[in-house]
Every structure is written in C-alpha cells, then in structure tokens.
Structure 1
C-alpha cells in the first residue's frame, strides 16, 4: 500500500478530495482531508500500487497549480479500513448505518444497520449508497419489497436494509470475492440468517440468480457502463409492477443509462442527486389484462328468423 499526501488550503483540499473520490475509476482506494493548522489542510490518498500512487500525484498537481504531492510506501496493514475507521454514522431516510462505536448513539425510531469500516464499498457515506438507501425507503412505503436482488452488493448494506424494511428474502452478488467475505460478516452481525443469500457472480446473468424466478425489487449500485450492459438482464429479472433502483452514475452519465432502461418499457418514477452522483428509480408496468369482449357469433338461421319477424313476414 502507498500513501499520497499534499498540503494546501481548505478549499483546495476539499476540491482534490472530491476529484479523487468521484473519478471513475479512481487510482485512490480511500481519500481523506485533515486540518493541520488554521491555514493549512492536508489531503491524503491510500493506493494499492505505486503506479496508482504516481497517478494520484499527477492528478493532484495538475488540478491544483502550485501544490506539490508526494507518496510513500506503507508497512503491511489494512490501511483502507484504517483510514475509514471512526467514521460518523450515516442517516439515510429511516436507516442509521454505523460501526459498533456509533450504534450506541442510535436514536429511537431509526433502523440500525451495523457496517464496520472496511475495503468493501458501502459504508453509507458515499452519495450512491445514501441515494439508494433513501430511494429504497421510498419504495418500501409504496409496496412490499418482497424478493430482492442486489447486484454489486459491496458491503451488503442495501440488501440488509431491504430485509430490515420488510423484504422476505434477498440475493446479493458481487464480482469481488473479498466483498462477499465482508458482506457475510455484516450479514451475521445484523442477524440476517437464511433470508440473505450471498454469492460471487459477474452481473445478473447467473444460473442461480435466474433460477430463483423474478424479483419484486432489484438494486444495482455499480457504474454507468455496467448498468447499460445489464439493462436487459435486470429488466427481465424484475416482476411486473416491480421496482429497479440504479446508482453509481455521475450526473452527466444519466442520459446513457436512461436510454438503456427507458427503451425497455419501464417508467422512471424517481431521480435523486447527492453530490455528483445520481440515483434512478424505475417501475416495470403491470401486465395488462385484455378488455376485449369476445364477439358472439350469430347463428345464420336465427338471424334470418329475427329479420323475418321484424318485417312481419
């Protein structure tokens, strides 16, 4: 692991932090800012490789004229988790997402979700996760969440939130085995039991996922390009009347994602923006029942008799 650091004023530090955090993909695994003195702030980035650290240095120095960045190799340690440790709780709709150190401060009436800081995406602090949680809470008010599919689950936070909001079962998948390992720990901490099934899978076109039938609620907090490529699979796996919650896309990526999903006979029912990120909510229409009344065929003999009677023949 490598650490990249740069000293500057507060506004520049916050700008650099946003740039590194919102890049798709970003060379930084984690980014933080810290006040050093009343006039000086420091932005730090943790990277997995020296190549990524060098990329961070280049980005910082190109984004902030006059700012010099440096990087150093770190001793073996989970620095991503370390940089996230002690994060404050996140309130998103009715959900209170936090580590054990913050759950003791839980306010009454909120739904606790125990997620410790770690390398799996989904502590609730990112605009995509928070947007999905808020959208999920709104969908839960409209209908029962039923059977849930969570694609790109990361820490498992969205699937866990769905189950705590009344979903009767959930399948959560991720392409990263480490994310599934961590989400299993989070599932155990939140007492999910057999309601939550976690598996390593590349997207929605997976035999186990398909064999479970259609889903009432589908969540996909990934990236814009995968959302577009998975639009057909996601639509097919959603029950008529079901909801699809999408995130992981920047504002300027909305049109391409909307084009992919709106062309599949879906209705966009909600869009929310948090920071630079967008969350889209679609609903699959119910199957329409035919209102056509079958035309009763006339018996020619009866028709002729009726006509004869009418004319007095």
Structure 2
C-alpha cells in the first residue's frame, strides 16, 4: 500500500481531490482531505501499488504543477491491530462508535456502536460517517426513523446506529462483498439479529431492496457521482414524508448533487459541514390531499331537489 500526500490552499486541494475522485478508473483507492492550518489543507491518496501511486502523483502535478506530491510506501504492518491500539472512540450526537477495547471502558448515557477497525469503510472517524450520525440524530428527534435503507453501508455503522436509535428494520447494501462480510460481523457483535439485512447490491435495483420499499429513512454515504446517478432511484423508493441523508461529497461538489436531488422534487432541510465534507438531508414532500369537486351530475341532482322543494 502506498500513500501520496500533498499540501496546498483549500481550493487547490479540493480541485486535486475532485480530479482523483471523479476519474474513472482512478489510480487512487481512497482520497481524503483535511484542514491542517487556517490556510493550508492536506490531501492523502491511497494506492495499492507503486505504479498507481505515481499515477496519482502525475495527476496531481498535471492539475497544478506548483504542487509537489510525496509518494511513500506504507510499511508492511498489521494496520488493523495498530489502529485498534490507538484508535479513539468517536462521539457523534448520542452515539459512541468504537472497538471493544474502548467500549469496555463503559459510556453511560451513550448509545454504543461496536465497530472494529478493518477493511470496510466506516469507523466513524471520517467526516462523512460522523456527519451522517449527527444527521441521523437530528432526524430521530423529529419522529420515528421507521424502515431504513443504507446504500454503500461499508462497515454497517449507519444501519446499526439507526436500529439502536429506534428504527424498526434496516436493509444495508454495498457493492463490495468484503464490506458485507465485515458488516455482518459488526451486526452480530451489536446483536442486530434479524433487524438488519445485509446484502451485496448495486444501488436500489436488488429485488430485496425493491420488495421492502418504500423506506422512511435512506442513507447514501458514497461519492458525488454515484449520488447524482442514483438520485432518481432513491427518490422512487423513499416514502412521502421520509428523509434521505447523503454524504461522501466534498463541500464544493454540493451544487451538482443538490441540483440532482432538487430535480427529483425533494426538499433540502439540513446541511452539515465537517472536515471539508458535506452531509445533506432531503425530505420527500407528502402528497397534498386532492380537493374533491362536485361532479356535474351531483350539481344537476342538487338543482332538481331545489326545484322540487319550490
């Protein structure tokens, strides 16, 4: 595994991240950005091999020749074990997300979500996951979460947290079979039983997802381009009055994602910005009751009754 790092002003880092994220296929397996100082941001791109790493560096230099990317090979260590030793618990609203090593300390008054660090995305440390947890809590305070769909579930953290916060049932899907394997373990650790159904699927096309529709709450913590492409499908399986929580998009990618979901008749009700990432909450308006108008026949009958009365 290799890491390609670069520092620059925020607008430059966002442009570099956008280029690496939207390139299809991209030499980067994952891209992260974070604020280092008030004027400097950092980009970290992860690649499986040296060729891909230097491919990332080449794209960075092509987008902005003034940026000097640094390519480093990560040591062959048990990164999961190391992360378990030093990974702190994440607090987001009432939730505390951590591995068993941290949860064993006890967190009275909190909702514990047991997620071990591993190959599936979603330990709560990333701005997108914590943003979704905060949005989840805001939504839960407004009413029941009902039936949940979690698209791109990763570690299963959002589906598990939703059930622990009162959701009646959740379907959690991911295109990566390894993520589903890990999420099932996390589901068992959190004693989800049959309240969460984990499955490998793309978007909302799965027969299981369609059979359980419509959903009261939908999570889609993926990337900007897939969010835009799935906007119509998500709107179709969302119950009127239900909410969809979107993340995985950088703040400068908001306009295109918002345009897609606004175009589906959904209404933006909340935004959370965290570490350069955005979490958006949309609500599907309830259908307005149709006001019945008297038919022509009814009008004639009423008129005849009035004549007979005279």
Please indicate the TM-score interval, normalised by the length of the shorter structure.
0.7 to 0.9
Q: Shift of residue 221 of structure 1?
A: 0.3
Q: Shift of residue 2 of structure 1?
A: 4.0
Instruction: Tell me the TM-score normalized by structure 2.
Output: 0.81
1:103-156: per-residue Cα shift (whole Å, max 9, x none)?
133431110011111121101111110110000011011111111000000000
Task: Please name the residue that 1:286 is paired with.
Answer: 286
Distance in 2 between residues matched to 1:31 and 1:278, nearest whole Å: 13
Q: Shift of residue 5 of structure 1?
A: 8.3
How do 1:68-147 residues align onto structure 2 when only pairs under 5 Å count? 69=70, 71-72=72-73, 74-75=75-76, 79=79, 81-82=80-81, 84-85=83-84, 86-147=86-147
Please say if residues 30 and 83 of structure 1, whose CA atoms lie closer than 8 Å, have aligned partners that are also in contact.
no
Task: Please name the residue that 1:166 is paired with.
Answer: 166
Matched, 1:271 2:305: no
SS state at 1:297 partner: helix
Q: Shift of residue 293 of structure 1?
A: 4.7
Task: Please name the residue that 2:21 is paired with.
Answer: 24
Q: Shift of residue 51 of structure 1?
A: 1.8
Task: Please name the residue that 1:297 is paired with.
Answer: 299
Unaligned runs of 5+ in 1: 34-42
Please say if residues 30 and 45 of structure 1, whose CA atoms lie closer than 8 Å, have aligned partners that are also in contact.
yes
Q: Shift of residue 21 of structure 1?
A: 8.0
Task: Please name the residue that 1:38 is paired with.
Answer: none
Matched, 1:247 2:247: yes
SS state at 1:160 partner: helix
Please say if residues 14 and 252 of structure 2, whose CA atoms lie closer than 8 Å, have aligned partners that are also in contact.
no
Q: Shift of residue 213 of structure 1?
A: 2.5
> 204-213 or 54-63, which moves further after superposition?
54-63
Q: Shift of residue 54 of structure 1?
A: 2.2
SS state at 2:194 partner: helix
What is the CA RMSD across the aligned residues, in angstroms?
Answer: 3.3
Task: Say if 1:260 and 1:182 are closer, same or farther in 2 by CA, change over 3 A.
Answer: same
Q: Shift of residue 251 of structure 1?
A: 1.1
SS state at 1:241 partner: strand
Distance in 2 between residues matched to 1:280 and 1:130, nearest whole Å: 13
Please say if residues 245 and 281 of structure 1, whose CA atoms lie closer than 8 Å, have aligned partners that are also in contact.
yes
Task: Say if 1:186 and 1:291 are closer, same or farther in 2 by CA, change over 3 A.
Answer: same
Q: Shift of residue 188 of structure 1?
A: 0.9
Q: Tell me which structure has the larger Cα radius of gyration.
A: 1
Distance in 1 between residues matched to 2:230 and 2:33, nearest whole Å: 32
Unaligned runs of 5+ in 2: 35-42
Matched, 1:190 2:190: yes
Q: Shift of residue 253 of structure 1?
A: 1.0
> 57-66 or 217-226, which moves further after superposition?
57-66
Task: Say if 1:302 and 1:30 are closer, same or farther in 2 by CA, change over 3 A.
Answer: closer
Please say if residues 249 and 278 of structure 2, whose CA atoms lie closer than 8 Å, have aligned partners that are also in contact.
yes
Distance in 2 between residues matched to 1:72 and 1:177, nearest whole Å: 27
Task: Say if 1:293 and 1:221 are closer, same or farther in 2 by CA, change over 3 A.
Answer: same
> 88-97 or 291-300, which moves further after superposition?
291-300
Q: Shift of residue 288 of structure 1?
A: 2.1
Q: Shift of residue 227 of structure 1?
A: 0.6
Distance in 2 between residues matched to 1:78 and 1:147, nearest whole Å: 38
Q: Shift of residue 168 of structure 1?
A: 1.1
1:270-301: per-residue Cα shift (whole Å, max 9, x none)?
11111211111011112222233535323465
